Amino acid sequence: LYLIALLLTPEQVAFYSIAVNMTNPILQIPDAIGTVIFPKLAGSSDAAAHERTAITCRHTLFATIIAAIVYAGVGSQLMLLFYGQRYSPAIPPMFMMLPGIIMISLYQILSRNFTSRNKQQINIAAAGVALAVNATSNLILIPRFGIIGAALSTAISYSLAASILLVVFLRESGYSLRETVLVSTGDLSRYPAMVMATGARLRRSSGTAD
Protein backbone atom coordinates (compact mmCIF):
# COMPACT_ATOMS: atom_id res chain seq x y z
CA LEU A 1 0.00 0.00 0.00
CA TYR A 2 2.87 2.40 0.75
CA LEU A 3 4.43 1.68 -2.63
CA ILE A 4 1.11 2.15 -4.38
CA ALA A 5 0.67 5.46 -2.57
CA LEU A 6 4.19 6.47 -3.61
CA LEU A 7 3.96 5.39 -7.23
CA LEU A 8 0.27 5.80 -8.06
CA THR A 9 -2.71 7.90 -6.96
CA PRO A 10 -4.84 7.87 -3.78
CA GLU A 11 -7.69 6.39 -5.82
CA GLN A 12 -5.55 3.37 -6.65
CA VAL A 13 -4.69 2.93 -2.97
CA ALA A 14 -8.42 2.82 -2.19
CA PHE A 15 -9.14 0.29 -4.95
CA TYR A 16 -6.31 -1.97 -3.84
CA SER A 17 -7.35 -1.77 -0.18
CA ILE A 18 -10.86 -2.85 -1.10
CA ALA A 19 -9.51 -5.75 -3.16
CA VAL A 20 -7.41 -6.92 -0.20
CA ASN A 21 -10.30 -6.60 2.23
CA MET A 22 -12.59 -8.55 -0.07
CA THR A 23 -10.20 -11.52 -0.28
CA ASN A 24 -9.12 -11.58 3.36
CA PRO A 25 -12.21 -13.48 4.60
CA ILE A 26 -11.00 -16.55 2.70
CA LEU A 27 -7.91 -16.58 4.91
CA GLN A 28 -10.12 -17.21 7.93
CA ILE A 29 -10.36 -20.85 6.79
CA PRO A 30 -6.66 -21.78 7.12
CA ASP A 31 -6.18 -19.44 10.07
CA ALA A 32 -8.94 -21.11 12.09
CA ILE A 33 -7.74 -24.60 11.16
CA GLY A 34 -4.15 -23.69 11.99
CA THR A 35 -5.18 -22.36 15.39
CA VAL A 36 -6.97 -25.61 16.21
CA ILE A 37 -4.24 -27.93 14.95
CA PHE A 38 -1.26 -26.17 16.55
CA PRO A 39 -1.67 -27.55 20.11
CA LYS A 40 -2.09 -31.05 18.70
CA LEU A 41 1.08 -30.71 16.65
CA ALA A 42 3.02 -29.35 19.61
CA GLY A 43 2.06 -32.37 21.69
CA SER A 44 2.94 -34.94 19.02
CA SER A 45 6.08 -36.70 17.91
CA ASP A 46 7.65 -35.53 14.66
CA ALA A 47 6.17 -38.48 12.77
CA ALA A 48 2.68 -37.89 14.14
CA ALA A 49 2.97 -34.14 13.51
CA HIS A 50 3.98 -34.77 9.90
CA GLU A 51 1.07 -37.13 9.34
CA ARG A 52 -1.43 -34.72 10.85
CA THR A 53 0.05 -31.82 8.90
CA ALA A 54 -0.18 -33.65 5.57
CA ILE A 55 -3.82 -34.55 6.21
CA THR A 56 -4.65 -31.01 7.29
CA CYS A 57 -2.82 -29.43 4.35
CA ARG A 58 -4.73 -31.29 1.70
CA HIS A 59 -8.12 -30.74 3.32
CA THR A 60 -7.39 -27.05 3.99
CA LEU A 61 -6.13 -26.51 0.45
CA PHE A 62 -9.23 -28.20 -0.95
CA ALA A 63 -11.55 -26.06 1.18
CA THR A 64 -9.69 -22.88 0.26
CA ILE A 65 -9.80 -23.68 -3.46
CA ILE A 66 -13.56 -24.25 -3.26
CA ALA A 67 -13.98 -20.98 -1.38
CA ALA A 68 -11.83 -19.13 -3.95
CA ILE A 69 -13.83 -20.58 -6.87
CA VAL A 70 -17.10 -19.53 -5.25
CA TYR A 71 -15.61 -16.15 -4.48
CA ALA A 72 -14.46 -15.71 -8.08
CA GLY A 73 -18.03 -16.30 -9.16
CA VAL A 74 -19.73 -13.92 -6.73
CA GLY A 75 -16.92 -11.64 -5.54
CA SER A 76 -17.27 -9.07 -8.29
CA GLN A 77 -21.02 -8.89 -7.79
CA LEU A 78 -20.59 -8.45 -4.05
CA MET A 79 -18.05 -5.71 -4.60
CA LEU A 80 -20.35 -3.82 -6.95
CA LEU A 81 -23.25 -4.34 -4.55
CA PHE A 82 -21.31 -3.00 -1.57
CA TYR A 83 -19.37 -0.19 -3.26
CA GLY A 84 -21.08 0.57 -6.57
CA GLN A 85 -19.93 0.63 -10.18
CA ARG A 86 -17.39 3.38 -9.52
CA TYR A 87 -15.26 0.86 -7.64
CA SER A 88 -15.12 -1.75 -10.40
CA PRO A 89 -11.34 -1.13 -10.90
CA ALA A 90 -10.86 -3.06 -7.63
CA ILE A 91 -12.22 -6.26 -9.22
CA PRO A 92 -9.22 -7.29 -11.42
CA PRO A 93 -6.65 -7.15 -8.57
CA MET A 94 -9.05 -9.10 -6.36
CA PHE A 95 -9.10 -11.91 -8.92
CA MET A 96 -5.32 -11.70 -9.32
CA MET A 97 -4.81 -12.24 -5.58
CA LEU A 98 -6.85 -15.44 -5.36
CA PRO A 99 -4.05 -17.85 -6.43
CA GLY A 100 -1.83 -16.35 -3.76
CA ILE A 101 -4.60 -16.66 -1.19
CA ILE A 102 -4.89 -20.35 -2.05
CA MET A 103 -1.15 -20.87 -1.65
CA ILE A 104 -0.89 -18.94 1.61
CA SER A 105 -3.38 -21.39 3.11
CA LEU A 106 -0.63 -24.00 2.81
CA TYR A 107 1.85 -21.63 4.41
CA GLN A 108 -0.40 -21.10 7.41
CA ILE A 109 -0.66 -24.83 8.09
CA LEU A 110 2.97 -25.71 7.34
CA SER A 111 4.30 -22.84 9.46
CA ARG A 112 2.45 -24.31 12.45
CA ASN A 113 4.25 -27.59 11.87
CA PHE A 114 7.69 -25.98 11.97
CA THR A 115 6.83 -23.74 14.93
CA SER A 116 5.48 -26.70 16.91
CA ARG A 117 8.82 -28.45 16.41
CA ASN A 118 10.89 -25.39 17.36
CA LYS A 119 12.02 -24.74 13.79
CA GLN A 120 10.77 -21.16 13.46
CA GLN A 121 13.91 -20.27 11.52
CA ILE A 122 12.46 -22.05 8.49
CA ASN A 123 9.33 -19.88 8.64
CA ILE A 124 11.46 -16.77 9.06
CA ALA A 125 13.67 -17.67 6.11
CA ALA A 126 10.68 -18.33 3.85
CA ALA A 127 8.99 -15.10 4.91
CA GLY A 128 12.24 -13.14 4.43
CA VAL A 129 12.73 -14.41 0.90
CA ALA A 130 9.09 -13.72 0.05
CA LEU A 131 9.35 -10.20 1.47
CA ALA A 132 12.41 -9.40 -0.65
CA VAL A 133 10.72 -10.77 -3.78
CA ASN A 134 7.52 -8.91 -2.97
CA ALA A 135 9.27 -5.56 -2.56
CA THR A 136 11.34 -6.04 -5.72
CA SER A 137 8.46 -7.22 -7.88
CA ASN A 138 6.26 -4.38 -6.63
CA LEU A 139 8.86 -1.83 -7.69
CA ILE A 140 8.97 -3.45 -11.13
CA LEU A 141 5.31 -4.27 -11.69
CA ILE A 142 3.42 -1.37 -10.09
CA PRO A 143 4.80 1.30 -12.47
CA ARG A 144 3.99 -0.93 -15.44
CA PHE A 145 0.67 -2.52 -14.47
CA GLY A 146 -0.65 -0.46 -11.57
CA ILE A 147 -2.59 -2.23 -8.82
CA ILE A 148 -2.89 -5.36 -10.95
CA GLY A 149 0.91 -5.53 -10.76
CA ALA A 150 0.73 -5.11 -6.99
CA ALA A 151 -1.77 -7.97 -6.75
CA LEU A 152 0.44 -10.14 -8.95
CA SER A 153 3.40 -9.38 -6.67
CA THR A 154 1.33 -10.49 -3.69
CA ALA A 155 0.35 -13.72 -5.41
CA ILE A 156 3.97 -14.42 -6.38
CA SER A 157 5.38 -13.76 -2.90
CA TYR A 158 2.65 -15.76 -1.15
CA SER A 159 3.20 -18.68 -3.50
CA LEU A 160 6.96 -18.51 -3.04
CA ALA A 161 6.73 -18.55 0.77
CA ALA A 162 4.35 -21.52 0.70
CA SER A 163 6.49 -23.38 -1.84
CA ILE A 164 9.62 -23.02 0.28
CA LEU A 165 7.88 -24.47 3.33
CA LEU A 166 6.31 -27.21 1.23
CA VAL A 167 9.66 -28.32 -0.20
CA VAL A 168 11.25 -28.44 3.26
CA PHE A 169 8.25 -30.29 4.70
CA LEU A 170 8.28 -32.91 1.95
CA ARG A 171 12.00 -33.46 2.47
CA GLU A 172 11.72 -33.80 6.24
CA SER A 173 8.51 -35.81 6.40
CA GLY A 174 9.01 -38.20 3.50
CA TYR A 175 5.46 -37.56 2.30
CA SER A 176 4.84 -37.08 -1.41
CA LEU A 177 3.46 -33.95 -2.99
CA ARG A 178 0.25 -35.79 -3.82
CA GLU A 179 -0.21 -36.99 -0.24
CA THR A 180 0.23 -33.46 1.04
CA VAL A 181 -1.81 -31.30 -1.33
CA LEU A 182 -4.38 -33.51 -3.08
CA VAL A 183 -7.45 -34.95 -1.40
CA SER A 184 -8.12 -38.60 -2.21
CA THR A 185 -11.36 -40.41 -2.94
CA GLY A 186 -11.21 -41.76 0.60
CA ASP A 187 -10.90 -38.22 1.96
CA LEU A 188 -13.93 -37.09 0.01
CA SER A 189 -15.98 -40.08 1.15
CA ARG A 190 -15.55 -38.96 4.78
CA TYR A 191 -17.02 -35.50 4.19
CA PRO A 192 -20.71 -36.45 4.60
CA ALA A 193 -19.98 -38.05 7.98
CA MET A 194 -17.92 -35.00 8.99
CA VAL A 195 -20.77 -32.65 8.06
CA MET A 196 -23.27 -34.74 10.03
CA ALA A 197 -20.97 -34.86 13.06
CA THR A 198 -20.43 -31.10 12.91
CA GLY A 199 -24.17 -30.52 12.68
CA ALA A 200 -24.75 -32.76 15.71
CA ARG A 201 -22.13 -30.85 17.73
CA LEU A 202 -23.71 -27.54 16.77
CA ARG A 203 -27.14 -28.77 17.82
CA ARG A 204 -25.78 -29.99 21.16
CA SER A 205 -23.99 -26.68 21.65
CA SER A 206 -27.16 -24.78 20.84
CA GLY A 207 -29.14 -26.91 23.27
CA THR A 208 -26.59 -26.29 26.01
CA ALA A 209 -26.68 -22.56 25.37
CA ASP A 210 -30.46 -22.55 25.64
d(C-alpha 42, C-alpha 159), whole Å: 25
d(C-alpha 19, C-alpha 207), whole Å: 39
Mind giving me the DSSP string for 142-160?
A: HHHHTHHHHHHHHHHHHHH
Helical residues (DSSP H) of 117-146, grouped into ranges? 120-145
Task: Give the pLDDT of residue 87.
Answer: 87
Task: Give the pLDDT of residue 71.
Answer: 86
Q: What is the dihedral of CA 23, 25, 26, 28, to 10 degrees?
A: 140
Helix (H) or strand (E) holding 204: helix 191-209
Per the CB < 8 A criterion, the answer to whether 96 and 155 are in contact is yes
d(C-alpha 94, C-alpha 79), whole Å: 10
Q: What is the pLDDT along the chain (210 residues), one digit of tens a residue?
A: 889 999 999 999 999 998 898 888 899 999 999 999 999 999 899 999 999 999 999 999 999 999 999 888 887 888 888 888 888 899 999 999 999 999 999 999 999 999 999 999 999 999 999 999 999 999 999 999 999 999 999 999 999 999 999 999 999 999 999 999 998 888 777 778 777 766 777 677 766 555
Per the CB < 8 A criterion, the answer to whether 122 and 171 are in contact is no
Query: Model pTM greater than 0.75?
Result: yes
Task: Give the pLDDT of residue 39.
Answer: 93
